[in-house]
């Protein structure tokens, strides 16, 4: 049965542990609270056991029932409670959770309910389409192929045509295929860069982008209507399932090749030494091929990480944002005296890079810097090639570096800010389609899209373009590190720092709510000694000029619980509660000056000092 629980197991356990400590200290009042919380915990356990029993009585397979019996018979009911205490929510981004048996797990039944709900919605939305169709892709994770095939069966059982990729493929290629094949929707089974225990289910609309309003909420409504396993049509129609692969790969690569802006630089530097790792994921299928088709001949693999595996055996986390995930690639780069290191996450939508600094040491380039390199290069080359006519635009998320805005404005290129998440960048592209020319868009969390033929962040095309940037820089007598320094010289130095303050349990959630309320009702007048000049509140969609008192409207498609403060010295602070974790996030960006490459270290040290002062001002 699929029914939301109002109680949160983790907050219960958190309170229970606190109360036990207080009982030990001899507080009679705490003893009473412990009794109440024990009663609540017992109630939760009874509800969980009832829910588990309904799966035993229902039309579930033998392996599932055997696993439930094992959890029911165990003395420790923690696993049972965690598996059934709530339903794995189909949110605006789809499903994501730990794999296993139960309503709070990724399994064939929770995936089945999501697919049945999406099928019902597609049939209601496209009654006049003779043959509704979808694309299904999956990454390297354990059970991803199983979940993809189960989904294919359910879609086809509902009369929907399915284009199922023959094997694992990058997320951006699924987006591309939806558009190319003229489908109404599509899904990919992936948990992106989450740990190996997780899997996920991302849903797309007919433009190849992740769903936004009203479709996201409407699909959620349809999924919640699936209240019984018997509501799910598992018996597929093979006649409606078509396997796709190489023909889409070829078209995707051909489109990527069309992005090149400096083919002569590539020819002169075709032997650029590129170390690339897919970190056991889908990038191995297309990234080396895309680089070769682009004109690069010296792609150096990391053999241990070319092994496709949902266990990610060589890393703790398959996330290119984590330095440890690039350790083996950097080691290979040192061995081979490479020019650049590139890594993609398991579904090949995020790109991480490493370069050599002025001392020859390998350093990681963060997401803001990566986006900066992309935007600077693309706009400069568009300008040099005479392609800038005043009708071009770029996109960034509101928490991404403001230097990008400076680059756009100085070159008379329009810039759009949007919320965090690539579905919002795709929404801007959709809004401007046929009206303006898209140059590129990115976010601080290592995602970039240098094209329009896909509508999700794309590490395949990004790897090709980043290799071209390295070749172009080399053609101009620079390393990528020196190119980044030169951008700072021209537009000013900038450094960013993300901070997450964790507050667990019910009391923690209340504290986070109060922190946002305090920031909203009593905003800081100055931060690190600089006066706050602009306040943006995305919950009310209002921007206030603190100096003049003037207010204006923020033109965004919906509200969001985010606050931003801009100070007179160029500092930007963004504050928002996490939507998926018990934390409140602070994004700090500080600015400085660089007049020469030799001043880089001093500018960086000054920025670090300013970040410390900002943290002290905010109390984080």
C-alpha atoms less than 13 angstroms from C-alpha of 567 in its C-beta half-sphere: 21
Tell me the C-alpha distance between 308 and 103, whole Å.
29
Q: State phi, psi for 575 to the nearest 5 degrees.
A: -130, 130
**Ramachandran area for residue 235 (φ above 0: left; ψ -120 to 50: alpha; else beta):** beta
What whole-number distance in Å separates Cα of residue 419 and Cα of residue 428?
A: 11
Q: In whole angstroms, give the CA distance from residue 30 to residue 25.
A: 9
Cβ-contact 466, 351 below 8 angstroms: yes
**Which residues are catalytic, by number?**
192
- b/e sequence 166-183, b meaning 16+ C-beta within 10 Å: eebbbbbbbbbbbbbbeb
Q: What is the rounded distance in angstroms from the CA atom of residue 312 to the CA atom of residue 516?
A: 38
Rounded to 5 degrees, what angle do the CA atoms 452, 491, 354 make? 65
Helix (H) or strand (E) holding 348: none
Rounded Cα distance between 275 and 339, Å, is: 8
Select from 365, 304, 300, 367 the least CA-distant residue to 334: 300
List, as own/partner pairs, every contact residues 480-485 make where C-beta atoms lie below 8 angstroms and the sequence separation is at least 24, other chains included.
Answer: 480/340, 480/353, 480/355, 480/365, 480/373, 481/355, 481/356, 481/357, 481/358, 481/363, 482/358, 482/597, 483/373, 483/376, 484/355, 484/365, 484/369, 484/372, 484/373, 485/594, 485/597, 485/600
């Amino acid at each position: 049965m699929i029914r939301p629980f109002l109680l949160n197991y983790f907050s219960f356990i958190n309170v229970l542990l606190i109360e036990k400590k207080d009982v030990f200290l001899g507080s009679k009042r705490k003893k009473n609270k412990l009794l109440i919380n024990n009663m609540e915990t017992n109630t939760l356990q009874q509800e969980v056991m009832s829910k588990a029993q309904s799966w035993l009585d229902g039309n579930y397979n033998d392996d599932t029932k055997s696993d439930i019996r094992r959890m029911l018979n165990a003395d420790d009911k923690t696993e049972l409670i965690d598996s059934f205490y709530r339903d794995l929510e189909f949110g605006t981004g789809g499903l994501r959770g730990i794999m296993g048996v139960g309503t709070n797990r990724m399994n064939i039944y929770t995936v089945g309910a999501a697919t049945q709900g999406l099928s019902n919605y597609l049939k209601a939305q496209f009654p006049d389409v003779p043959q509704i169709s979808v694309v299904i892709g999956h990454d390297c994770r354990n059970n991803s192929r199983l979940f993809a095939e189960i989904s294919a069966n359910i879609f086809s059982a509902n009369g929907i045509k399915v284009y199922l990729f023959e094997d694992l493929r990058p997320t951006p290629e699924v987006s591309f295929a939806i558009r190319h094949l003229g489908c109404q929707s599509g899904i990919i089974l992936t948990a992106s860069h989450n740990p190996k225990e997780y899997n996920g289910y991302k849903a797309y609309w007919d433009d190849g982008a992740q769903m936004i309003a009203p479709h996201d909420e409407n699909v959620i409504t349809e999924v919640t209507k699936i209240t019984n396993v018997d509501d799910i049509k598992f018996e597929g129609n093979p006649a409606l399932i078509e396997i796709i692969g190489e023909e889409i790969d070829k078209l995707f690569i051909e489109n990527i090749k069309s992005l090149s802006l400096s083919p002569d630089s590539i020819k002169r530097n075709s032997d650029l030494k590129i170390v690339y790792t897919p970190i056991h994921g889908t990038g191995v299928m297309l990234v080396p091929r895309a680089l070769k088709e682009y004109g690069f001949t010296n792609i150096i693999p990391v053999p241990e990480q070319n092994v496709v595996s949902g266990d990610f055996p060589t890393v703790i986390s398959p996330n290119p944002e984590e330095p440890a995930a690039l350790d083996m690639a950097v080691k290979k780069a040192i061995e081979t005296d490479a020019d650049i290191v590139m890594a993609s996450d398991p579904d090949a939508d995020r790109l991480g890079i490493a370069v050599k600094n002025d001392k020859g040491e390998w350093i990681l380039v963060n997401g803001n810097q990566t986006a900066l390199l992309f935007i600077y290069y693309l706009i400069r080359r568009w300008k040099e090639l005479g392609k800038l006519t005043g009708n071009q635009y770029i996109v960034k998320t509101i928490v991404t570096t403001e230097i990008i805005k400076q680059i756009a404005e100085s070159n008379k290129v329009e810039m759009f800010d949007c919320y965090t998440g690539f579905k919002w960048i795709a929404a801007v592209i959709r809004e401007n389609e046929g009206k303006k020319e898209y140059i590129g868009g990115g976010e601080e969390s290592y995602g970039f899209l240098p094209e329009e033929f896909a509508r999700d962040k794309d590490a395949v095309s990004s790897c090709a373009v980043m290799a071209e940037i390295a070749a172009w820089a080399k053609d101009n007598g620079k390393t990528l590190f020196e190119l980044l320094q030169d951008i700072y010289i021209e537009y000013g130095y900038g450094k960013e720092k993300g901070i997450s303050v964790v507050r667990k349990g019910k009391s923690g959630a209340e504290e986070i709510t109060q922190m946002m309320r305090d920031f909203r009702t009593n905003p800081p007048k100055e931060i690190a000694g600089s006066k706050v000049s602009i306040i943006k509140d995305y919950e009310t969609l209002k921007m206030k000029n603190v100096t003049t008192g003037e207010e204006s409207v923020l033109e965004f498609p919906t509200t969001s619980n985010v606050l931003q403060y801009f100070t007179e010295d160029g500092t930007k602070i963004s504050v928002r509660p996490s939507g998926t974790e018990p934390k409140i996030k602070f994004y700090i960006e500080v600015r400085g000056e660089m007049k020469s490459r030799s001043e880089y270290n001093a500018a960086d040290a000054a920025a670090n000092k300013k970040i410390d002062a900002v943290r002290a001002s905010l109390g984080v």
